[in-house]
């Protein structure tokens, strides 16, 4: 949730700056699909009459519009250039609000293949010995080697009193209850307490932090908390930290490279703007999709890498081509010509990437299948914003993109 909100904020800031620049520096000049040829200032022919002054303002000549589907999309983008960025931002915010209120949870598992030998063995163990409950494990250390004493075991139970009051906890097993050697180390310096939980592993991850805070270690007794829910929670936190760190490092580097390529901050910021719109949209759709199918936690890494790369790559081509076309054509024609050439190439490239990633969907393991879904969603989100919002932004900026 925090990642989605931060990414949405990035999109708002990134989208707002070029819009403000465009409106603050807007000129009343007409930027329709017309060109005004320069008046003829060449020397008159010795045998001919002296030409009179050129008409004030010159003669406006209509430029021919490019033809084709993507050129038509460019005309649409130009016509609604002030509406499309607002709709794009509204889409991002709306999807993230929906995901925050009704999004599903990403799972750690999903590597079992239904009907495989591994799955059959797991089912056999559950049938023979019963379904093993989800547990939180607490390890207590007594350097004196008296971890099995009644006094030390009493301290263990006292430290877990608040945990047992939690509705998620269903019971406690200690060495004092069973005298099982599995709950005591051989040198009797460590004792293990097992807290049974009522929820499955995936549902217990969100409770792991609260349960850990309810453990009150005895004074002077080193205590460690583990268990599958705790491990998954730490794993999720590590993934989120690594993603934030990766973007913190990669985005400034990407901005420096784009500045070197374009030479202006506005042009360099547009590719990052596309990433700021496509990524939170992708994360929101993935969260919503998690309600109907299993989605692995690893899809966030995949979506982040692919989304950032495609957004920068596609925007780089489109902005560069627009600047080239703008040297010889009006803003409207430049948008249409850009979409008719680079826009079409970007769309074909995106479809090819999506088809390649969709091959993961045929795998039976839900973790791999979810990566295929995430990859296709990422490509589609990038294409939608790249073929609508980006041309609209370029149309509003016009020559100010330079």
pLDDT at 237 over 80: yes
Return the pLDDT at 107.
Answer: 78
Return the pLDDT at 46.
Answer: 43
pLDDT at 40 over 50: no
Residues 77, 221, single domain; the answer is: no
Return the pLDDT at 132.
Answer: 66
Upper half-sphere CA count for residue 387 (Cβ side, 13 Å): 23
CA pair distance 384, 389, nearest whole angstrom = 8
Report, as an integer, the average pLDDT of 281-307. 90
Share of the chain above pLDDT 70, in %: 81
279 vs 70, 98, 253, 272, 358, CA distance in Å? 24, 16, 18, 10, 19
Q: How many helices (H) and strands (E) does the chain have?
A: 15, 6
pLDDT at 11 over 60: no
Contact 31, 330 (CB under 8 A): yes
Q: How confident is the model at residue 131 (pLDDT cuts 50, 70, 90)?
A: low
Residues 253, 368, single domain; the answer is: yes
Sheet with 169-173, edge to edge strand ranges: 169-173, 190-197, 134-141, 223-226
Q: Indicate the pTM of the whole model.
A: 0.72
Residues 129, 204, single domain; the answer is: yes
pLDDT at 34 over 80: no
Residues 218, 253, single domain; the answer is: no
CA 321 to chain CA mean position, Å: 27
What six digits make up the tokens of 144?
Answer: 């004196």
Residues 242, 344, single domain; the answer is: yes
**Residue 40 within any structural domain of the chain:** no
Average pLDDT, the chain: 81
Give backbone dihedrals phi and psi of 242, rounded to 5 degrees, phi first.
-65, -40
Q: How confident is the model at residue 62 (pLDDT cuts 50, 70, 90)?
A: low
Residues 320, 207, single domain; the answer is: no
Kindly report the CATH number assigned to the domain that includes residue 220: 3.30.70
Q: pLDDT higher for 69 or 251?
A: 69
Residue-range definition of the domain harbouring residue 296: 2-35+67-111+232-401
Q: How confident is the model at residue 48 (pLDDT cuts 50, 70, 90)?
A: very low
pLDDT at 109 over 50: yes
């Amino acid at each position: 949730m925090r990642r989605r909100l931060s990414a949405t904020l990035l999109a708002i800031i990134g989208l707002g700056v070029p819009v403000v620049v465009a409106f603050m520096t807007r000129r009343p000049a007409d930027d329709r699909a017309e060109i005004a040829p320069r008046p003829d200032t060449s020397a008159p022919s010795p045998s001919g009459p002296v030409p009179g002054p050129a008409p004030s303002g010159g003669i406006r000549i209509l430029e021919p519009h490019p033809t084709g589907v993507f050129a038509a999309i460019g005309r649409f983008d130009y016509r609604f250039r002030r509406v499309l960025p607002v709709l794009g931002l509204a889409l991002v915010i709306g999807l993230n609000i929906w995901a925050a209120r009704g999004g599903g949870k990403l799972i750690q598992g999903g590597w079992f293949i239904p009907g495989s030998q591994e799955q059959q063995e797991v089912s056999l163990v559950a049938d023979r010995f019963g379904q093993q409950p989800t547990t939180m494990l607490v390890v207590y250390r007594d350097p004196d080697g008296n971890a099995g004493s009644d006094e030390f075991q009493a301290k263990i139970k006292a430290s877990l009193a608040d945990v047992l009051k939690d509705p998620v906890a269903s019971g406690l097993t200690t060495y004092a209850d069973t005298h099982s050697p599995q709950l005591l180390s051989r040198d009797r310096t460590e004792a293990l307490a097992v807290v049974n939980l009522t929820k499955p592993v995936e549902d217990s991850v969100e409770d792991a932090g609260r349960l850990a805070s309810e453990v009150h270690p005895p004074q002077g007794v080193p205590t460690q908390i583990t268990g599958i829910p705790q491990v998954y929670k730490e794993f999720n936190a590590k993934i989120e930290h690594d993603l934030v760190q990766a973007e913190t490092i990669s985005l400034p580097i990407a901005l420096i490279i784009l500045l070197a390529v374009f030479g202006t901050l506005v042009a360099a910021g547009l590719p990052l703007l596309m990433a700021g719109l496509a990524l939170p949209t992708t994360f929101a759709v993935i969260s919503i999709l998690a309600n109907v199918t299993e989605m692995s936690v690893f899809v966030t890494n995949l979506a982040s890498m692919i989304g950032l790369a495609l957004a920068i790559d596609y925007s780089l081509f489109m902005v560069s081509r627009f600047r080239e076309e703008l040297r010889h054509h009006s803003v409207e024609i430049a948008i249409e010509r850009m979409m008719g050439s680079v826009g079409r190439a970007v769309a074909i490239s995106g479809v090819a990437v999506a088809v390649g990633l969709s091959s993961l969907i045929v795998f039976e393991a839900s973790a791999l299948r979810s990566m295929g879904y995430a990859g296709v969603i990422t490509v589609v989100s990038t294409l939608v914003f790249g073929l609508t919002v980006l041309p609209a932004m370029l149309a509003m900026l016009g020559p100010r993109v330079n």
